[in-house]
A = this chain, B = another copy of it.
């Protein structure tokens, strides 16, 4: 079934249909990457509603439906702590998510864990953007951090994929 992250009703519908969930992993969310001077009210509104509060709502909802000891893994991104021109909104959204994850982890019931993966630029993404993919990390390598978040015992951590290679 299709879920739209910034549509709370569709998130609720997901958990009404899918039962006995062990792990929720979110790699979704929109936000505009553009010069600070060009960011509009609508850009801020979408970034907050989608990548930021969409994932927060997913976590709030998943908490009620996960099995004991289940896990929630959200996606932030390198721009949270290492900004660049054009990242004002992304840096706000990603850093806000990291603050949320660190704090919400302190109050998760029934052994449920919550973490986030903070990916660098992904090689396949850079290729699609028509730029030099040399600085990127392959998505298969980024995925290892998600596996570590789901399978380990981490709680309230922000996982950088470079730590989980090789």
Contact = CB atoms under 8 A, between A and B. Distances in A.
A81 B80 CA distance: 13
Contact of A92 (B39, B88, B97, B156): B97
A95 B68 CA distance: 29
A23 interface: no
Interface in A41-85: 44, 48, 52-53, 56, 60, 79-81, 83-85
A62 to B, nearest CB: 13
A107 B37 contact: yes
Interface of A: 35-37, 39, 44, 48, 52-53, 56, 60, 79-81, 83-100, 102-104, 106-109, 156
